[in-house]
Amino acid sequence: MAGSRLPRQLFLQGVAAVYMFAFASLYTQIPGLYGPEGILPARRTLRPQGKGRWQQLWETPTLLWEAPRLGLDTAQGLELLSLLGALLALGALLLRPLRHPLVYLLLWAAYLSACQVGQVFLYFQWDSLLLETGFLAVLVAPLRQPPQGKQASQGGPAGALPHEALPFWLVRWLLFRLMFASGVVKLTSRCPAWWGLTALTYHYETQCLPTPAAWLAHHLPVWLHKLSVVATFLIEIAVPPLFFAPIRRLRLAAFYSQVLLQVLIILTGNYNFFNLLTLVLTTSLLDDQHLAAQPGHGHRKKMPTSWPKALLASLALMLELAVYGLLAYGTVYCFGLEIDWPQRTIHSKTTFTFHQFSQWLKTVTLPMVWLGVASLAWELLAAIWRWTQVRGWLRKLSAAVQLSVLGAATVSLFVISLVPYSYVEPGTHGRLWTGAHRLFGAVEHLQLANSYGLFRRMTGLGGRPEVVLEGSYDGHRWTEIEFMYKPGNVSRSPPVVAPHQPRLDWQMWFAALGPHTHSPWFTSLVLRLLQGKEPVIRLLQSHVARYPFHEQPPTYIRAQRYKYWFSQPGEQGRWWRRQWVEEFFPPVSLGDPTLETLLRQFGLQDKSPPRARRSNSTLAGALHWVRTQLSPLEAPTLLWGLLLAVGAVRVVQALPAPWSSRSSPPARTEKQRQAPKKDLGAACQQATPAPDNCSSGSRTHRRKK
């Protein structure tokens, strides 16, 4: 069976890259989101309750409890964690020795610490996914780096550990849970757009932050949109069980289908690091042979000579074709695919009912668990077999200890993950082993396993709801307040900001789906804009001069709800059309009773001014200096700059060392290469120089005498 050393290294590098983007993106937004003058100051979230230090740390696991010891407030501590996390992730991405379990444990602890104080702005599924993936990276990372070069490329046993591939199986299981749940919830939600296969006719213009390519995709034919929904169900529901197929070609086919889906999402939507992280998870479907870690394999594969191997190869091929045929037949049958040759279209419709799908889900959810158990058991047996091949009693004992620890951790995490996985089907959730529920409840706050289900319901079926802020000095003439990324000005093209996530813009999208009372933070945003707080203004416009009220804060703030639609192809200079719907937030000013009531209701009043920073804190001064140097850069520019820097370093690392030509022996000429080899003794005699006082002639004379 092909090894997984190269995919594991690819996985660890990918996790490091995602951490780098996540920490750097968060760092740019900390003052406006969590600073003393931010929307939701982080200092309010960490208040000692009179408990012991370790109990307090266990109940609210964040390193920010230690910020006061460093002379920092909570927001400054969060800045320090983000900076250190980004730098540490950058180091792990570039330097192989830093891909160590301790490094990934620090990265996981830092991001978990940020999520504990992040409140609503860090309550996204991809934040939970990063925490779960990051903890798996702690187990996947090797304690010592494997050998490089020819031996490593050939998959030699020297230096290989029996347990090294075992935790990597959990990455594949996580990918399965993510994709399968995301596909199932679309149908269990009874959303008419998903059941009618029309979801993508709305999705491109109603997603949070579309890209310019989304405008093009939105204007594709409806039949192609419906066929794309069918393909989405196929990739997210039918294909994931192939992740555990014993035939590697089936796993590779599943890999490329997942990559195709994620790349299309990246092209049409700004989903920060989420799709990149999903692509990182797909590395668990690869092997060294496919990634050319074993040269000569896969290019001209020799046919097996013995009849048992030939029989197995034939059976594998027949099984592979049967799986493809079953997938094709099931897709045509379940979605009534028909080709209309005159119109050159493909008609599709859902041919099963909600009751039938629910019965099917009850039938397959628990067997999927047993499929995971069987696959994990195979990995455990393979690891035990590799352990039996270890030579030397000391190495065997060390390998046994590591295998026991990693095996127990892998099985425990698998058992814990069964609880959030079973949420897709309530009946299965109730039939799980009670020990799994107790184990999950004990570590739930650490987010080691989470439930997923993206795009459960399609919003904006009647138009994209959008909240537009307006400010005024006199209460009569109102000026719109533009955001950098979310739709506002109908003539401005959709941006490309990934892997950055403007978290305020994302929450504005959620706020537009309901009344403002469902988004308490919005009242705090209005307060900060009335106060003219620069950190919050920078969340809207990175250059304060572009803010319409940069000279003086507005006297009044209000918000209107609009419906937005993509413009038609014939409309020049316009990307959007919009229509006013209703007032979202009433006009308020500082001291307004309505505003004060809302602030008091949501607990957002500043009861006491924030403590002044310690003037003697060198660390606080250093953080302020770094912030001053980086503040002129927009967040996407900073992230893309990091990416370009990584690329430049990679190019330099790939170049031959300038001293290699001096240290290496001179190249042999063609004549020297073709010359026959001489006897070693004769070569040594020929290479030995004669003494200065003795010529070759005198040496011959002495031999004759």
Mean pLDDT, to the nearest integer, of 38-62?
A: 87
3 state DSSP class of 287:
coil
Please state whether the peptide bond connecting residue 499 to the residue before it is cis, i.e. omega within 30 degrees of 0. Answer: yes
CA atoms of 3 and 10, how far apart (whole Å): 13
pLDDT value at 158 more than 70: no
Q: Is the pLDDT of residue 236 over 90?
A: yes
d(CA 171, CA 165): 11
Tens digits of residue pLDDT in 440-453: 999 999 999 999 98
- Residue 404: closest CA among 420, 384, 390: 384
Instruction: Give the mean pLDDT of 56-79.
Output: 92
Q: Tell me how far apart the terminal alpha carbons of the chain are, to the nearest angstrom.
A: 70
Mean pLDDT of 635-640: 91
Rounded Cα–Cα distance for residues 73 and 611 (Å): 8
Cα dihedral value 293, 296, 297, 300, nearest 10: 150
pLDDT for the residue numbered 677 = 45
Mean pLDDT for 184-208 is: 95
pLDDT in tens, 93-119: 999 999 999 999 999 999 999 999 999
* pLDDT interval class at 145 (50, 70, 90): confident
Whether residue 61 has a cis bond before it, omega within 30° of 0: no
Q: Scanning the structure block, which residue is given the tokens 């308490």?
A: 520
- Please, are residues 487 and 604 in contact by the beta-carbon 8 Å criterion? no
Output the pLDDT for position 135.
97
Banded model confidence at residue 144, pLDDT cuts 50, 70, 90? confident
Q: Among 318-332, 503-517, 637-651, 656-670, name the one with the lowest average pLDDT.
A: 656-670
Given a contact cutoff of 8 angstroms between Cβ atoms, the answer to whether 17 and 296 are in contact is no
Residue 702's pLDDT is what? 40
622: its two tokens: 């250093």
Q: Any residues with CB less than 8 A from the CB of 297 and at least 6 apart, and which?
A: 2, 289
pLDDT per residue as tens digits for the range 340-380: 999 999 999 999 999 999 999 999 999 999 999 999 999 99
- Whether residue 26 is predicted with pLDDT greater than 50 in this model: the reply is yes
Distances (CA, A) of 175 to 242, 254, 555, 617: 12, 11, 50, 45
Q: Is 3 in contact with 165 (CB distance < 8 Å)?
A: yes
Are 441 and 464 within 8 A, CB to CB? no
Of 580, 525, 535, whose CA–CA distance to 557 is shortest? 525
Confidence of residue 157 (pLDDT cuts 50, 70, 90): very low
Query: What pLDDT is recorded for position 693?
Result: 40
CA-CA distance, 199 to 204, in Å (whole number)? 9
| Helix boundaries (H) for 41-166 | 53-59, 74-94, 101-117, 125-140, 150-153
Question: What percent of the chain is predicted at pLDDT more than 70?
Answer: 87
394 and 154 Cβ atoms separated by less than 8 Å: no
Bridge partner list, 580: 562
What is the rounded distance in angstroms from the CA atom of residue 88 to the CA atom of residue 134?
13
Domain locations in the chain as residue ranges: 1-148, 197-290+307-349, 464-607
**CA–CA gap between residue 123 and residue 62 (Å, rounded):** 16
Measure the CA–CA gap between 86 and 505, rounded to whole angstroms.
23
pLDDT of 468: 97
pLDDT at position 239 over 90? yes
468 backbone φψ class: left, alpha, beta (φ>0; ψ -120 to 50):
beta
From CA 193, how far away is CA 86, in angstroms rounded? 40
Lowest mean pLDDT among 146-155, 187-196, 495-504: 146-155
Q: What is the mean pLDDT of residues 56-71?
A: 91
Higher pLDDT: 698 or 213? It is 213
**207 pLDDT higher than 90:** yes
Q: Where are the alpha helices (DSSP H) in 389-502?
A: 393-421, 426-431, 434-443
Nearest 5°: phi and psi at 622?
A: -65, -40
pLDDT at residue 605, as a whole number: 83
Residue 626 has pLDDT above 80, yes or no: yes
257 vs 243: CA distance, rounded Å: 11
Query: In angstroms, rounded to a whole number, what is the distance separating the alpha carbons of residues 313 and 323?
Result: 15
Asked if residue 287 lies in contact with residue 248, where contact means CB atoms within 8 angstroms, the answer is yes
- Of 293 and 238, which is predicted with more confidence? 238
Give Cα separations from 280 to 73, 185, 448, 491, 556 (angstroms).
35, 23, 18, 36, 47
Average pLDDT, the chain: 88
